[in-house]
Structure 1
């Protein structure tokens, strides 16, 4: 969250070229909603993805608040969907657990990732390699041309 205060609408920030383009040619400005989306934006985009893709399992990968209770409250009964996150065993490092999240994000049927996140950029490149589309938080992804062979 704090890092986003340094972001500018006029330039790339961390790995934001993956959704803005290297020269911002995609016509999207890096707003706070894109850099650090609100819970409302996350819930709205997730619901749209659930409806569009008829998901039966929702995997939550986050480096902070997983919002698990909110996802369960909003979607579990309404869509008869299983909501899970990886539970790190006590003998596993946070870095090893992050690799599990990265792998799942890379192979999942659908993924919504953070635009400026360098972590998300790894998953995006892997998804591009296997022709899987990737959505970004805070962006109307229906209007975004989700080119394969990302700018990163």
Structure 2
């Protein structure tokens, strides 16, 4: 079992865990679900497909610290979608691409996602989270003091 899986097992049902405030602080009484913390490849493919079907995107960039199962995701998204992934991963480049993308779906509890969300908020770009289907969360106009 991956460390991330163990952490998510404990996080489910909590109101705050790691960087979850980035997606839960504006939802009174909300608690962390399994899908917010650790998504399956099916959930990732389904959410990206939903976004792709409602927009005009044809390129998807996947950043992951675990096996992204690209062949599975490519099959689920279909031949018209170009799926990109850096192997090996390059964290600074991943952050740059995700921060500047037209659309971004991140992991609710991830500190990596938190860096991306802060950049996107500054530039007024939407951020969505797995586990919040079809919801674009409001941007806060407040100063963040942490890095």
- Structure 2 partner of 1:83: 83
Structure 1's unaligned 5+ residue stretches are 89-93
Q: 2:78 aligns to what SS in structure 1?
A: helix
| Cα shift readout 1:58-110 (whole Å, capped 9, x = no counterpart) | 11111112121112111232xx121111133xxxxx6xx11111111111000
Q: 1:59 aligns to what SS in structure 2?
A: strand
For 1:87 and 1:61, locate their aligned partners in 2 and report how far apart those are by CA, in whole Å. Answer: 10
* TM-score, structure 2 normalization: 0.85
For the Cα contact (< 8 Å) 2:99–2:119, is it kept in 1?
yes
For 1:40 and 1:49, locate their aligned partners in 2 and report how far apart those are by CA, in whole Å. Answer: 14
- Structure 2 partner of 1:2: 6
For the Cα contact (< 8 Å) 1:35–1:114, is it kept in 2?
yes
For 2:116 and 2:49, locate their aligned partners in 1 and report how far apart those are by CA, in whole Å. Answer: 21
For the Cα contact (< 8 Å) 1:124–1:150, is it kept in 2?
no
- Structure 1 partner of 2:27: 26
Shift of 1:33: 1.4
- Pick one of 95, 109, 128 that aligns with 1:102: 95
* TM-score, structure 1 normalization: 0.82
Larger relative contact order (C-alpha < 8 A, sep ≥ 6)?
A: 1
Root mean square deviation of aligned Cα? 2.0
- Structure 2 partner of 1:44: 46
- Structure 1 partner of 2:139: 147
The alignment covers a number of residue pairs equal to: 139
For 2:32 and 2:59, locate their aligned partners in 1 and report how far apart those are by CA, in whole Å. Answer: 30
Structure 2's unaligned 5+ residue stretches are none
